[in-house]
Amino acid sequence: MARIQLKLLFCLLFLQAISLKAQQKSELSDSTLMQEVSINGQRQRISYRLDRQRIDAEQVLTAQGGTAFDVLRSVPGVVVDANGSLSFRGSQEFLVYVDGKPSPLSGTEALQMIGAASIKDIEILTTPSAKYKTEGDVGIINIVTKRSETDGWDISVNGTASTWGTLSLDTKINYRTGHHNIYVGGQGSDIHNKSQFEQEKQTSANGTTVTSFADGTRFRDFRTYIGQGGYEFNDGWHRLNIDLQGGRTINPRGGDMTYLTNLSPDLLDSHDRYKLTKYLFQTAFDYTWKLNERGDEININNRFRYDRFSEEYTESNMFDLNGARQEGTRGYETEHHWDCDGALSYKLHYRQTGILEVGYQYTTYSEHGDYRICYWDLPQQEFVWQDDLYAPFYYRRQTHSPYAQANDRIGPLQFDAGLRIDNLIDEMDLPTITSRYKKYTELYPSTHLAYTTDKAGTFTLGYSRRTNRPGIWKLEPYITYEDYHTRIIGNPDLKSEYIHSLELSWRKMFGSTQVNATIYARRRTGVVDYIRRAYGAGVTLDSIINAGNEWREGLELQVVTKPTNWWQMTANGTLSLYNYRATYEGCTNAHGTTGTIGWINNFRLAKNTALQFDGHFVGGQHLTQGKESAYVYFDLAARQSLLQGKLQLGLVAHDIFHTARYHSLRSSALLRSETWVRPTYPNIVFSVSYRFRQPSAKAKEEALSKEAEFVGKDF
């Protein structure tokens, strides 16, 4: 594989050298960089660029009242699991950026922080170039928020409510005059996920076999309260952005269930709670200096985030039917966290179509805190601290990354090639348990090719090497509680995953029909996974390990057409071949096929009235210790625009036929665990969005003067 990478990189650098001698001007316009496709005047939901695809958030009606999370649910290859977490192409490892800057949060939590009404586009980089950070095996998700482009006031207010009890309100005030722009805003949201839960579990430990049954409800919430403000300056030669954010996030989850085992005829009430609270502050600045008319520029940027307090709280409770506590635990992990990243880069336009970029990026991440836990003492009828399990910790990671990236075009061929060098220092100290120190250097190449002709369409080829580095929460070698019957432990010797991603795409218009097809292959070594085993009577322990190696090949197909003037239809299909080779005892080899089907229909009922009906099929898939079953669900959404588009009313009904359900089975020599999860019905979301724009007097005068120019007319 290493030889193939070097050969690809050498070939692209050779083409780069040839392009330096080329004198002809490219006939391709910049429109090939981002293909904006319209079908009978209606914009396409997804458009494409050399290294990314872009989703137009306004075209996804089923995301109304939702977040970036809901916009992405309509993308081929995206699946939401029973816990409400989003995965793309079989992985939950991706980086999240907002307007090109790292989000203060990560994963699904970061996606739930940005309301869909505030989003202009979402970009997905599946094989990111070498100039981007290397974490995340399926790439980077960049959320592009709406910005005012004209002078004057721009005020937007968005509100949401749902039958699940979701409430959210966000507002943004923007004032632009000349080269200056000032904005302030705030967001408050309480997003709820509710489901019915059943589980049958059989464990064998210490010569005892226990069969247990759990039945009840589970929930997962995302609460975000964030304020934001900033200043922008742009005179064509100097661009400056200063941004401040601060607030609090609270992410509770848990369940309330009746519990029965074969050891006792009595029913018990089980209640488990988990809550992660963060008080965070982030500041960022980005400055670009355009050096000449050719477009050469220097950029410097920096972001600093500080969590002045963060607490992860777990609680498990077991009561008899009379309300008397039988068992219980309470765990507290408190920490202070800060991270900082920045970059300095120089971009050289060495010819009209060629750009060479070199730069240096750094990241430093630190946190310290401690973990405490107490158990319920039944004879004493009180919680007792377990002093022998007290664990203070300190963790720090530094990354220093020089990189070089070249882009060019030769006739119909566009390409880029890059190389990134990551120098890392990892330091972890748990004084009562263990310590680790690592220092190493790694290379990360990337390449992209695009070839466009009128007859054949556009072909793109992309490759990148990436990694998933375990954070402190996966390295902590002490037991925490998911619930009373499920315990989790980290692994201080956990190693990074390494991923090679290759994909080939083809796009072509056939009249008013667009066809997009992508073939991808991803090899992941040192796969990190949770392995479940029997820990005690009726209790399982999830241990995180490097379980094996994975190969995944897939096909994504999208067809967009317009059968009538008022109906646009999008059909998505994915097929993924999975092959897993276990390298850890307790895991088994697995292979299989899974896929998804999406049928998305957009109806223009009137000039200001739109309707969307979606149908989705999610195929079953194999796990390292079992499998998940297939399921289907359907969504219906409507949008009404009023007051010349300033006011928009939205209504979305999720899973309208109540067919979504998640069924999984895990098994090993001493364990069999079968789980059924079904989202609570109904889930109907109502949203209101209002956007007010008042151009300044100067802007109105400029517009009038432009309209008064009779250019090209002969009177």
How sure is the predictor about 254, in pLDDT bands with cuts at 50, 70 and 90?
Answer: very high
How sure is the predictor about 636, in pLDDT bands with cuts at 50, 70 and 90?
Answer: very high
How sure is the predictor about 206, in pLDDT bands with cuts at 50, 70 and 90?
Answer: confident
Distance CA 312, CA 637 (A): 37
Query: For the chain, what percent of residues have pLDDT higher than 70?
Result: 90
Is 141 within 8 Å of 451 (Cβ atoms)?
A: no
The radius of gyration of the chain's CA atoms, rounded to the nearest angstrom, is: 27
For the chain, the domains span 2-208+222-332+342-377+390-707
How sure is the predictor about 200, in pLDDT bands with cuts at 50, 70 and 90?
Answer: very high
Q: What is the pLDDT of residue 698?
A: 57
- Give CA torsion, residues 549, 462, 407, 43, to 10 deg: -130
Q: What is the mean pLDDT of residues 96-117?
A: 85
Of 219, 167, 211, nearest in space to 188 by CA: 167
Is 137 within 8 Å of 157 (Cβ atoms)?
A: no
Read off the tokens for 673: 């665990």
Residue 168, SS3 per DSSP: strand
According to DSSP, the residues that pair with 450 across neighbouring strands are: 414, 460
Topology (CATH) of 2-208+222-332+342-377+390-707? Maltoporin; Chain A (2.40.170)
Q: Express each pLDDT in 46-91 by its tens digit.
A: 777 777 888 898 889 999 988 888 888 878 888 887 667 788 888 8
Residue type, 192: H
Read off the tokens for 242: 């200063």
Q: Express each pLDDT in 317-373 by its tens digit.
A: 999 888 899 889 999 999 998 999 999 999 999 999 999 999 999 999 999 999 999
Q: What is the pLDDT of residue 374?
A: 93
How sure is the predictor about 42, in pLDDT bands with cuts at 50, 70 and 90?
Answer: low
Q: What is the pLDDT of residue 710?
A: 28
According to DSSP, the residues that pair with 71 across neighbouring strands are: none
Label each residue of 476-514 as H, E or C: CCCEEEEECCEEEECCCCCCCEEEEEEEEEEEEEECCEE
Distance CA 278, CA 281 (A): 10
Cis ω for the linkage preceding 682 (within 30 of 0): yes
Q: What is the pLDDT of residue 31?
A: 34
Q: What is the mean pLDDT of residues 386-400?
A: 92
Q: What is the mean pLDDT of residues 144-158?
A: 89
Q: CA 551, 557, 562 angle in degrees (round to 5)?
A: 165
Weakest mean pLDDT among 189-198, 230-239, 488-497, 687-696: 687-696
Q: What is the pLDDT of residue 624?
A: 66
**For residue 180, pLDDT beyond 90:** yes
Of the two residues 284 and 704, the one the predictor is more confident about is 284
**For residue 561, pLDDT beyond 50:** yes
Q: What is the pLDDT of residue 688?
A: 96
How sure is the predictor about 28, in pLDDT bands with cuts at 50, 70 and 90?
Answer: very low
Residue 259 belongs to what H/E stretch? Answer: strand 238-261
Distance CA 13, CA 448 (A): 12
Other CB atoms within a 10 A radius of the CB of residue 678 amount to 18
How sure is the predictor about 112, in pLDDT bands with cuts at 50, 70 and 90?
Answer: confident
Of 573, 601, 558, nearest in space to 61 by CA: 601
Q: Express each pLDDT in 505-543 by its tens digit.
A: 999 999 889 999 999 999 999 998 888 777 776 678 888
Label each residue of 45-73 as H, E or C: CEEEECCEEEEEHHHCHHHCCCEHHHHHC
Residue 25 DSSP label: P
Distance CA 65, CA 78 (A): 19
Is 223 within 8 Å of 251 (Cβ atoms)?
A: yes
Distinct helix (H) and strand (E) counts, the chain: 5, 40
Q: What is the pLDDT of residue 653?
A: 96
Residue 657 DSSP label: T
Of 503, 498, 585, 487, nearest in space to 540 by CA: 487
**For residue 140, pLDDT beyond 60:** yes
**For residue 135, pLDDT beyond 80:** yes
Q: What is the mean pLDDT of residues 690-707?
A: 58
Strand positions, DSSP E, 411-565: 413-430, 434-453, 457-468, 479-483, 486-489, 497-510, 513-536, 539-564
Write down the residue that tokens 């200063």 correspond to.
242
Q: What is the pLDDT of residue 43?
A: 57
Read off the tokens for 165: 């009890």
CA 95 to the chain's CA centroid: 6
Is 278 within 8 Å of 310 (Cβ atoms)?
A: yes
Q: What is the mean pLDDT of residues 392-415?
A: 94
Residues 6+ apart with CB under 8 A from 137: 91, 93, 94, 466, 467, 468, 497, 499, 501, 522, 524
Weakest mean pLDDT among 1-5, 82-86, 595-599: 1-5
How sure is the predictor about 212, in pLDDT bands with cuts at 50, 70 and 90?
Answer: confident
Q: Express each pLDDT in 418-453 by its tens digit.
A: 999 999 999 999 998 899 999 999 999 999 999 998
Q: What is the mean pLDDT of residues 96-124?
A: 86
How sure is the predictor about 697, in pLDDT bands with cuts at 50, 70 and 90?
Answer: low
Of the two residues 195 and 136, the one the predictor is more confident about is 195
Residue 425, SS3 per DSSP: strand
DSSP output for 186-224: EEEEEEEEEEEEEEEEEEEETTEEEEEEEEEEEEEEEEE
Q: What is the mean pLDDT of residues 209-222?
A: 91
Residue 327 DSSP label: E
The mean of the pLDDT values for the chain is 86
Distance CA 283, CA 394 (A): 24
Label each residue of 370-387 as H, E or C: EEEEEEEECCCCEEEECH
Query: For the chain, what percent of residues have pLDDT higher than 90?
Result: 58
Q: CA 327, 430, 482 angle in degrees (round to 5)?
A: 30
**For residue 45, pLDDT beyond 80:** no
Q: What is the pLDDT of residue 103?
A: 84
DSSP output for 340-365: EEEEEEEEEEEETTEEEEEEEEEEEE
Read off the tokens for 661: 């359900």
Q: What is the pLDDT of residue 683?
A: 93
Label each residue of 260-282 as H, E or C: EECCEEEEEEEEEEEEEEEEEEE
Q: What's the number of CA atoms in the CB half-sphere (13 Å) around residue 29?
A: 3
